[in-house]
A = this chain, B = another copy of it.
Amino acid sequence: MNNYQRGLEIRKQVIGQEASRAVSESLKEIAPVLDEYTLLVFDEMENRKILDLKQREMITITTLLTQGDTAPQLKIHIQGALNVGLSQAEIIETFIQCLPYVGFPKVLNAIAVAKKVFE
């Protein structure tokens, strides 16, 4: 397996097969190179140890919450967080931990996305 194939395997494991195919589909004509780059990102995630996938998804949903205007990505990675083994309570608590640093609007926006994913 080359980098792209390994990246695809790990991407499917993290965000799920359907979301992975949707990413490729949405980029395949307009910017296929971006789909390839995301595969390299997921391959690197696998190669580099030190943090496990649960920690990495916890970091990912934190950075997405914080930058704002990331509802589509947050939806994918809240599902990803569940897929790699974080509980609903841990995801919500991750968002609450951000509150003193980012304020209510970003936290409430992330909670609203989580609510839809959990249902």
Contacts and interface: CB of A to CB of B under 8 A. Distances in A.
B33 A96 contact: yes
A68 interface: yes
Among A31, A38, A103, A118, find the residue whose CB has the most chain B CB atoms closer than 10 A. A103
Interface residues of A, number: 54
A109 interface: yes
A8 interface: no
Interface string A5-18: 00000000000000
B105 A70 contact: yes
A94 B103 CA distance: 15
Interface in A70-119: 70, 72-73, 89-90, 92-109, 111-112, 114-115, 118
A41 interface: yes
Given A31-B96, A115-B30, A66 B63 contact: yes
